[in-house]
Amino acid sequence: MWTQGLDRLLSHLVRHGELSVTYPDGTTRVYGSGTPRAAVTLHAANLPRRLVLTPHMAMGEAYMDGELTIEDDGLRSFIDLITRNAAQNGLPGFHKPVAALRRLGRRLAQFNPAARAQRNVAHHYDLSGELYDLFLDDDRQYSCAYFARPDMTLDEAQEAKKQHIARKLRIEPGMRVLDIGCGWGGMGLTLARDFGAHVTGVTLSREQHAMANARAAEAGLTDRAQFHLMDYRDITGPFDRIVSVGMFEHVGVPHYHEYFSKVHDLLSPDGIALIHTIGRTTPPGATSPWITKYIFPGGYCPALSETVAAIEPTGLGATDIEVWRLHYAETLKEWHARFVANEKKARALYDERFCRMWRFYLLASEFTFRNAGQVVFQLQLTKAQDAVPLTRDYLYPAPSPEKRPLAAE
């Protein structure tokens, strides 16, 4: 019965590209045609039932546990095929009530008071620091890079991201800057070193907190960059500038108004805030249960509509909203390539199951950006209408004219 159910599900789903499935009883069926192509084998007798009832969770867990194997380890093609078809065709009608229940339950799943928020952060960011060295750039930027040119290296694109954000913040020497969710300190140290700002960073990750302060000491910037292990709700201000990169995804829908109210209260009257977050071009939804369980508990990538609705009552105004589309897909592609190149080291840190989980996470994330409407929003927020120039020209300064020798008299 469940084999027939999965056959109907895949017949509905796969219309672009070709998926060959070998079922636990040894029969093979082919769905769709064209490219991309993938061939999978289901080894566990109960896997068809699990894939029919909970496709998101079952697919990820089956790959992690070796119950679903892919010919030639073609995980990239398989995830490309599945995400592309899911975005275009959706799951059969009987899954709609399940999806509706997930959306209804998201406020409970994303209820993140300080203690729970710290546990959620520890689940992901307090993994071995050696793991992140295997695939991140030298500055440990664990957020979307900015590929201003297609030939940029990952390190160049991450540096371009920080410089782009700094221009939006209009940093001047001596300004007090708050970095909410400071990570390993790269953004804050850049603003302190290159722009002369006085940076206060906060994180809930013990690993990030320790490394950020160690990096500040090594760079001789402890007088201008301090990082604290604390919740953003406990900060006192005011600050001339506020930056938050890749943290809003962990706030949780029930706390959006609280978050932006806090940003408002901490920002000086003529200050500027820059919020950089993953988002979705689709209406509000819910996080994949596999991502919630294994990668980012309590996490959620918001629609612009629900983000702006939380900003409007606070007294903050949006002075610039920028949408980055495939920049994160390219970032994740680089991360995956680096992780695969260092997979032997990752296996020594953890195990084979962890490596399969991490590869699935990186590739599923990449193709959600390529195929399923996920983007990055950069929201520039102020209290005063004239806090930033009236055009975007300041973001793209004209190159200085070449100096020419004076003509001989």
Residue 303, classed as helix, strand or coil, is: strand
Q: How much is the pLDDT for 1?
A: 77
Alpha-carbon distance of 12 to 121, in angstroms, equals 38
Alpha-carbon distance of 343 to 87, in angstroms, equals 30
Alpha-carbon distance of 113 to 134, in angstroms, equals 32
Residue 353 identity: R
Alpha-carbon distance of 271 to 177, in angstroms, equals 10
Domains and CATH numbers, the chain: 2-102 (no CATH), 114-389 (3.40.50.150)
Alpha-carbon distance of 216 to 225, in angstroms, equals 6
How many angstroms separate the Cα of 38 from the Cα of each of 25, 80, 81, 361? 19, 9, 8, 18
How many angstroms separate the Cα of 192 from the Cα of each of 58, 83, 222, 263? 46, 41, 10, 21
Each residue's pLDDT tens digit in the chain (409 positions)?
A: 789 999 999 999 999 999 999 999 999 999 999 999 999 999 999 999 999 999 999 999 999 999 999 999 899 999 999 999 999 887 665 556 556 556 556 566 666 666 666 666 665 656 777 999 999 999 999 999 999 999 999 999 999 999 999 999 999 999 999 999 999 999 999 999 999 999 999 999 999 999 999 999 999 999 999 999 999 999 998 999 999 999 999 998 889 999 999 999 999 999 999 999 999 999 998 899 999 999 988 889 999 999 999 999 999 999 999 999 999 999 999 999 999 999 999 999 999 999 999 999 999 999 999 999 999 999 999 999 999 999 999 998 776 655 544 444 3
Alpha-helical runs (H) found in 66-185:
75-89, 96-104, 106-109, 114-125, 129-133, 154-169
- Give the E-state strand segments of 164-266 in sequence order: 176-180, 198-203, 225-229, 239-245
Alpha-carbon distance of 59 to 397, in angstroms, equals 48
Alpha-carbon distance of 158 to 146, in angstroms, equals 6
